Amino acid sequence: MTTAPLPIGLGVRSRFLDVPGRLVDLLPDDHNPLAWLRHGDGLVGWGEVARIATRGPGRFAEADAWWRSFAKHLDVRDEVGVPGTGPVAFASFTFTDDSPGSVLVVPRVLVGRRGGISWITEFADGDGRSAVQAVTPVRPTGTLRFADGRLPVGRYRLAVAEAVRRMQAGELDKAALAHDLLAISDAPLDPRFLLGGLVTRYPTCWSYSVDGLVGATPELLVRRTDGTVSSRVLAGTIWPGEGDDLPGQLLGSAKDRHEHALAVDSLAAALRPLCTELHVPETPSVIALPNVSHLASDVRGTLDPAAPAPLLQLAAAVHPTAAVGGTPRDAALDLIAELEGMDRGRYAGPVGWVDGDGDGELGIALRCAQLDGPVARLFAGCGIVADSDPDSEVREADAKMVAVRDALEAGN
């Protein structure tokens, strides 16, 4: 675990602010813009007051303990009093325990909007100075060339086929396999360009940017608000070109309904010990995005009031769900490590924000790219079950990758 040194005499103030335009357009040319946006609301931040970097099976607990201690010692003036005001940290965790790179980042300046109310939160040192920055024009991506990542499409197809073989032999029920693709520019990529493109094209998704990981996820891992917990589980996918009645086909697909049920059951089993009541829909609905449609279930619960788990503890309990890991969990994770043969980094890990009360939102880092100078590493994956078809799963992964590819190339 590593942490940045904390300033002395640190205070934080949230006050009302009129923000007429898009929040994403407020981000300066910062190497690490921070964002969590949906339907025009959300949070954007820049500058850095403090951070923790952690890894291992205890990474959620370490981050939670550090954040509680940090928030406890702040001098807080919150004049707004809605979720997302006061001290906030942006979070992004790795998919596996062993992978490095899990972080909490506390922005020096944060601007938020929720339900028609907007505000600014600023950290200042002992003399009261703040750190608002001027906004410079967003740099377009320019010409891109694509190259194989660590798991090219051909090997991904073989990995899917091998996973299907093992499931048909009864070794496990499901595994979510992914592959990657490199997009390479002639100049360093501007995270704001990709983020802005995703915000424009996928307003119903949660668009995010944390420590160079930029994406737009349709799947909410866990939200904690005033003693309640909620989650949106996605599993089962169809895309344009597969027929006319896409929602009907998806709801009528035994393969997709089975895959979805495994994901919902795994989430519910993880949350139930932490809740006094939990509502799990009997049947899924369908959400439609420009590139794909998914089966979706919204799970809601009431946390045990005797010991209400904070957001990061909830994340530790539910990650990884069967939607991005598999069933049984340990067997699926072993299979993923063996067949993918790559470090996913923070792809398919929890991403979002947490406040000083332990409330906040974490999505699953899907439809994303890890930016590193002129290189973007894109990811896409699919849930594999015994009757999956390798060629179909390759097409599904390609359809999911369209979101980031289009936003990288066309932007806003």
Evaluate if residue 267 carries a pLDDT over 90. yes
Mean pLDDT across the stretch 396-402? 94
Report pLDDT for 135. Answer: 76
Report pLDDT for 411. Answer: 56
Mean pLDDT of the chain: 93
Report pLDDT for 131. Answer: 47
Q: CA 361: distance to chain centroid?
A: 9
Lowest-confidence pick of 11-25, 110-124, 229-243, 286-300: 229-243
Evaluate if residue 136 carries a pLDDT over 90. no
Query: H helices within 111-235, ranges in order?
Result: 153-168, 191-201
Residue 243 pLDDT grade (very low, low, confident, very high; cuts 50, 70, 90):
low
Taking the C-alpha atoms of residue 267 and residue 263, their distance in angstroms, rounded to an integer, is 6
Evaluate if residue 119 carries a pLDDT over 90. yes
From residue 158, how far is each of 11, 242, 398 by CA, in Å? 54, 23, 16
**What residues act catalytically?**
174, 219
Residue 246 pLDDT grade (very low, low, confident, very high; cuts 50, 70, 90):
confident
Give me the percent of the chain exceeding a pLDDT of 70.
Answer: 94
Which domains does the chain possess? Answer: 2-130+144-410 (3.60.120.10)
User: What digits encode the pLDDT tens for the residues 174-207?
Assistant: 999 999 999 999 999 999 999 999 999 999 999 9
Please report the sign of the dihedral spanned by the C-alpha atoms of residue 157, residue 159, residue 163, residue 166.
positive
370 touches 376 (CB < 8 A): yes
User: What digits encode the pLDDT tens for the residues 355-364?
Assistant: 999 999 999 9
User: What digits encode the pLDDT tens for the residues 311-320?
Assistant: 999 999 999 9
Evaluate if residue 333 carries a pLDDT over 50. yes
